Structure 1
């Protein structure tokens, strides 16, 4: 090997960076970068404060979507739901009463009153006919006939009134009264729904399958509203973070597949680039050496696919970019 070739190799080795290693030969077009796995944790908290009465998961446990994570004291919410349901039932009964008219017992009373009025009318008709005959024969006075006629008219009016009362009893209430009762039922139905939702929210379930990263409270402790009780790392909640130097920015595009490698990992891992920062930044000190921290780089995020989705947050990886 010539002295010039050896000097070139030494210079290439000295310029190798932990983040980006460009090939020294002009024919290599596959630059690589160092990155790491970042977790997108979901911190699950109650919407209202309460005492923790149940913690159904432990740190490190794998859980399916919908699994119950924890529960707060819900005695007040249960009582509120029972009260709301009772008020709704009373309003529904009132509406049904307005829509169906009077009860069967009340109808029987009206039927009896109509029968009594009809009997009185029948007697008044007979009395009037008898007095009319007697008046024609000059046996009864005209005053007696007039009284019999008045009694007949009164009895007729009472029968008409009884018949109308019986018909009205079968009619529902006025439309405006029924409408008001219907609106009351709708409002109380909504109140029941709100009470049920508040009760259901006293316990929280996993929004996705994943692993419990940590728990922050113990049973019996008071949990403030909005304070996380459980931290969940969803199965799909991982992304690869790496940085591309400004000269290589044009070679990376969203949707592009990059190769992933790490210590002890299986071969053939890959990820899909999802986003590239629109503005450059200085190289992070944890990624670059002291000599290269002044260089501008672009942050790139990639979504791991296949077996790469099981990489652990914080795990360092080597990212190989596609050929230019």
Structure 2
């Protein structure tokens, strides 16, 4: 009885000593090394190929969009004017090609024939006049000069007749094959211009190429949109990944294809499995660390991208991820 009474006061002291010893043991145990990463996702910028004024923006931030959904529209009076010019040029080229294909009109052919017959009659008259003057010259009635003048007028009338005959034949035959082909090619070129302007016109109604969530509205209705300037940005959380930066002495744990667990504080500290999909060295700026006395060389930093192996609900861009190194 006396022995038990002597031991009882020592029990609290023993508990205190054990607790202190356990605390010291815990304090000197190596703590796990933690890395912090961040969630990223694929982002798409939706812009227009044509410059103009924003007419309507048909989506809002946070809205889910699907491929082919109308995002915004643009008004461009200059483009409409160019389309009218292109159509007018196409019609003019078609008319020229039709004219080349059909040849001269019947009235033009008849007029050319009349001109030829007129020249033919004049040539015949000039020939008869020359014959009469030549006979008078043979009889010594007229001078040689008059005979030469009559001969010259006859030859000139013959050339005029020949030219009128050629014009008449040309009117009958119509345009040459080369001229017809050139006219047809001009029609094709004009049609190409119209198609080009119409393609630009169709781009005044801009649709989304991808599914995702609207993250930014960079321009509003009434504002001017330059060519290629992003108007709406969307992110695709179905295509998300984890990005973290590691020193090269830790790189062996993050080889491509390696899987690891990451804890997401924003999602009640739930842990999810990721797989390394890409490893790349970062630029020289701010990625070198002072020489480690244990290794004897400077350490570079590598960027790791890892994809989740399952769909993570409520995942958002910018969420932190904690990785505990082995």
Distance in 2 between the 1:47 and 1:304 partners? 35
Distance in 1 between the 2:278 and 2:228 partners? 30
Alpha-carbon shift at residue 18 of structure 1 (Å): 3.5
Trace 1:193-212 onto structure 2 (pairs within 5 A): 193-212=195-214
- Conserved 8 A contact 1:41-1:237: no
| 1:43/1:3 CA distance change after superposition, 3 Å | same
Alpha-carbon shift at residue 316 of structure 1 (Å): 1.3
Deviates most, 93-102 or 205-214: 93-102
Alpha-carbon shift at residue 195 of structure 1 (Å): 1.4
Trace 1:257-296 onto structure 2 (pairs within 5 A): 257-262=259-264, 263-264=267-268, 269-277=273-281, 281=287
Which residue, out of 223, 226, 240, partners 2:225? 223
TM-score, normalising length from structure 2?
0.61
1:226-254 Cα distance to aligned partner (Å, 9 max, x none): 44321211345532111223222133223
Unpaired runs of at least 5, structure 2: 1-17, 118-160, 290-297
Alpha-carbon shift at residue 192 of structure 1 (Å): 1.5
Give the secondary structure class of the aligned counterpart of 2:274. Answer: strand
| 1:229/1:165 CA distance change after superposition, 3 Å | same
Trace 1:31-180 onto structure 2 (pairs within 5 A): 34-102=36-104, 169=172, 172-175=175-178, 177-180=179-182
Match of 2:6 in 1: none
Unpaired runs of at least 5, structure 1: 20-33, 118-157, 284-293
Distance in 2 between the 1:204 and 1:212 partners? 15
Alpha-carbon shift at residue 173 of structure 1 (Å): 3.0
State whether structure 2 residue 259 is matched by structure 1 residue 242: no
Alpha-carbon shift at residue 75 of structure 1 (Å): 2.6
Give the secondary structure class of the aligned counterpart of 1:182. Answer: helix
Alpha-carbon shift at residue 215 of structure 1 (Å): 0.9
Give the secondary structure class of the aligned counterpart of 2:38. Answer: strand
Give the secondary structure class of the aligned counterpart of 2:28. Answer: helix
Distance in 1 between the 2:94 and 2:101 partners? 11
State whether structure 2 residue 304 is matched by structure 1 residue 300: yes
Distance in 1 between the 2:269 and 2:308 partners? 13
- Conserved 8 A contact 1:80-1:195: yes
Alpha-carbon shift at residue 5 of structure 1 (Å): 8.0
Q: How many residues of Structure 1 are paired with residues of Structure 2 in the alignment?
A: 258
| 1:253/1:165 CA distance change after superposition, 3 Å | farther
Alpha-carbon shift at residue 59 of structure 1 (Å): 0.6
Alpha-carbon shift at residue 196 of structure 1 (Å): 1.8
Match of 1:316 in 2: 320
